[in-house]
Structure 1
Amino acid sequence: MSRVERWVPLVAAGFLVAFGVLEPLTSPDLRPAAVWAGTAVAVAGALLAAARPLAGTALLMLAFLAQSLLGQVGPSGGVLLAMFAACGWAAFTVAPARSWITPVVGQVGAVASSAIGALLAIPGASLADNIFFSSFFWLAWVVGLAARQQRRRADQLGRLAAALDAERETRERAVLAEERARIAREVHDAVAHSVSVMVLQLGVVRSTARLDEGVDGVLAGLERLGRETVVEMRGLVGILRDTEVPAAPEPSLDRLDELLADVRAAGLPVELTVRGEPSHLPRILDVSAYRVLQEALTNVLRHAGPSPTRVLLEHARDAVVVEVVDDGPVGDPPAPVGGDGHGLVGMRERVAVFGGSLEAGPRDTGYAVRARFPVRTAVSV
């Protein structure tokens, strides 16, 4: 029995009290003592039904008999309505194998009431009348059974709907897993193989050709970047396939020296300034700050060539600030290098996630990018 169903007999008890007080005042043919006695039995049964539905409703059905003992052959209106409701409510909340006891007790009480009336010579309803009216207890019981079956059917439909939803989600996950595996295969076939071949070719060039120290350093950096790219690509493929693969080095400000070494090897003179004491940063902020620096330095190489560049990494109390400032193109503008044109948009999106700010634009000479990541905001991301 649910919590709502437990409140039904308690509310009914309140209405019974009101009926028991008002009915004798509006019906002079009723005996007040008998009405109050029957009402008391009905209220006691309703209160008991909140915890023991069958026992409480059976007790309520004896209210008919209690009124008869005090000279009231027929039940009062409030008691009669309560008895009908009790039969239906018992059928709704208790299994049919036991709830049939309720209308039986009501009919036995009606017969006993007529017998008591005959013995005490109390004018009122005859035995036939009481049996006729008490037979409607069974009708109320059938209505309660129908409501019980309807609720049971609704529960079954609810469980069936939940099972169908779970099955649909399972199918969707299976389709998603298959699609991820397909994408993983395509990524591997289209990109990882080509990058691996390029790395091998760079290794062959470095080992067979006579190169000066500067060119050899650039090729060595490209070869190392290519190997790291292959590892990262395999990690991505592993994620798509839900398989475990060796993880590539995580982008982090702790690896900033490696990033600067790569761009220096590509010909970009860079100076690094670090302010403040480094602190433990949330991983997602650490990665985002690294990516902003990486994108800004890449843009310098792409648009300004080997321009003297200064990188600032500032660890403030409540924020991390990264800044890249270049002196502008050196000599003729560099030839365009492939790019998607969305680097600045991507940097703004990374900073906006943390509620930070990004300032980017030309200076008197050169270009500056300054990003501020609030640390407190990052903790909640």
Structure 2
Amino acid sequence: MALLFALASVVPALQDQGTQLGDLPRRPFDALTIAVVALECLPLAVRRRWPALCLALVSVGFVIDQLRAYHTVAGAALAIALLSAGAHLQRRRRTTIVLASAAYLALAVALDRQGSTEGVTGFAIFYLLLVLPWGIGAWLRQTRAAEAERRRHVALTARAAERTRIASELHDIVTHHVTAMVVQAEAARYLTAAPERLDTALTAITDTGRRAITDLRHLLDLLNPDHGADPRTPSVGKLRALVEQTRQAGQPVEFTVEGSPARTTGGAEVVAYRVVQEALTNALKYAHGVRTTVHVHHRDRETTVQVSTEGSGSYAGGPGGSGRGLAGLRERVGVLGGEFSAERRADGGFDVRARIPTGSPS
């Protein structure tokens, strides 16, 4: 832009098209004209980084241009400098306005003494024309500030939602692993007479604790702002490990999987894992030792999960259970556009079912 204005100023066909303030007779170009054009145009290259300096230099060049009556096309660069200052100047904006207005007043007085026929009205109108680009720049600055504030608010909201999600994940993990460890420890109390089985039970408790620590570290890593990895997606192998852990805690579990997960699940695999985890945790807590079946069916556009526990017991959501885990699952499945149910059967058993669409919700 700076070079464009400079080149336009020396084009013969445009030499009569420049800014003319004061209506003084035009003076032919001379050696000083090159310096004036450079002073008006070249500072535009730094108008965003140093807007105040750019405006000051361009204004000096404009004053000399008008007092010497060159009336170059480069005089239009003053409008660009004013717009840039209004948009990018961060400090001492009022001082800049006062100084610029005082400089314009001094220029008007000097031109009047040189015989200008512009008059007060003409000078006032030109001043208002100079205020316009500054006002446009100030409006752009306010718009950018409002957009930055909106993005900051969106980021804070997203961060709070992510922390809530992680807190829910921590609830599920801690509840499941601690429940399994407690049940395993209770069972170990009755195995003192069988050292081999006692060793197996204590090993299971140790393995459960290690898995809990690993999962907690992974989730806490997500709180690190420098953490760039995608959240881990539990695979079928992870589900098998979860079932095996529950079996080691003394819960008879039958596990079946049909189909293969879709390439793009949109979080469905994670939710399916949490559904199985929460249901098995409730089975351990409130129906320990009762036969439990886990069935996971992967289809093209959805994954269905069903966990059933036979017999009677005090399940989550009923006496002795808060139901907060199931409520959280219902919310997670609903976010993906799926369906979730947890209900007692007529024979006293309990069923947890979830239909989870794969991909992002529309």
What TM-score does the superposition give when structure 2 sets the normalisation length? 0.51
Percent same amino acid among aligned pairs? 33
Q: Note the 1:198-277 alignment, pairs <5 A.
A: 211-242=194-225, 250-277=233-260
- Of 307, 329, 340, the residue aligned with 1:347 is 329
1:55 corresponds to 2:17: yes
Map of 1:286 onto structure 2: 269
Residue by residue, what CA displacement relative to the aligned partner does 1:266-322 show, whole Å, maximum 9, x if unpaired? 111111222234433426221111001111111122222221111111112221101
Matched letter for residue 135 of structure 1: T
Map of 1:140 onto structure 2: 122
Measured at CA, do residues 278 and 346 of structure 1 come closer, stay the same or move farther in structure 2, by a change above 3 Å? same
Measured at CA, do residues 97 and 147 of structure 1 come closer, stay the same or move farther in structure 2, by a change above 3 Å? farther
Distance 1:217 1:288 in 2: 31
Structure 1: tracts of 5 or more residues without a match: 2-51, 62-93, 105-133, 181-186
Matched letter for residue 272 of structure 2: A
Map of 1:379 onto structure 2: 360
Matched letter for residue 258 of structure 2: R
Distance 2:351 2:324 in 1: 17
Measured at CA, do residues 334 and 275 of structure 1 come closer, stay the same or move farther in structure 2, by a change above 3 Å? closer
Choose 1 or 2 for highest CA Rg: 1
Residue by residue, what CA displacement relative to the aligned partner does 1:224-267 show, whole Å, maximum 9, x if unpaired? 12112222333344443446699997533331110110111111
Structure ranking higher on relative contact order (CA contacts 8 Å, 6+ apart): 2
Distance 2:211 2:230 in 1: 10
Which shifted more, 269-278 or 345-354?
A: 269-278
Measured at CA, do residues 242 and 96 of structure 1 come closer, stay the same or move farther in structure 2, by a change above 3 Å? same
Measured at CA, do residues 358 and 156 of structure 1 come closer, stay the same or move farther in structure 2, by a change above 3 Å? closer
Measured at CA, do residues 262 and 313 of structure 1 come closer, stay the same or move farther in structure 2, by a change above 3 Å? same
- Of 299, 306, 314, the residue aligned with 2:289 is 306
Aligned-residue Cα RMSD (Å) equals 5.4
Matched letter for residue 235 of structure 1: H
Measured at CA, do residues 154 and 96 of structure 1 come closer, stay the same or move farther in structure 2, by a change above 3 Å? farther
SS across alignment from 1:305: coil
Measured at CA, do residues 338 and 234 of structure 1 come closer, stay the same or move farther in structure 2, by a change above 3 Å? farther
Do the aligned residues in 2 keep the contact of 1:311 with 1:323 (CA within 8 Å)?
yes
Structure 2: tracts of 5 or more residues without a match: 2-13, 24-60, 72-115, 164-169
Distance 1:277 1:240 in 2: 31
Measured at CA, do residues 246 and 279 of structure 1 come closer, stay the same or move farther in structure 2, by a change above 3 Å? closer
What TM-score does the superposition give when structure 1 sets the normalisation length? 0.49
Q: When the two structures are aligned, how many residues end up with a matched partner?
A: 246
Q: Note the 1:121-160 alignment, pairs <5 A.
A: 135-136=117-118, 139-149=121-131, 151-152=133-134, 155=137, 159=141
Distance 1:142 1:103 in 2: 22
Measured at CA, do residues 54 and 216 of structure 1 come closer, stay the same or move farther in structure 2, by a change above 3 Å? farther
Do the aligned residues in 1 keep the contact of 2:306 with 2:351 (CA within 8 Å)?
yes
SS across alignment from 1:352: helix
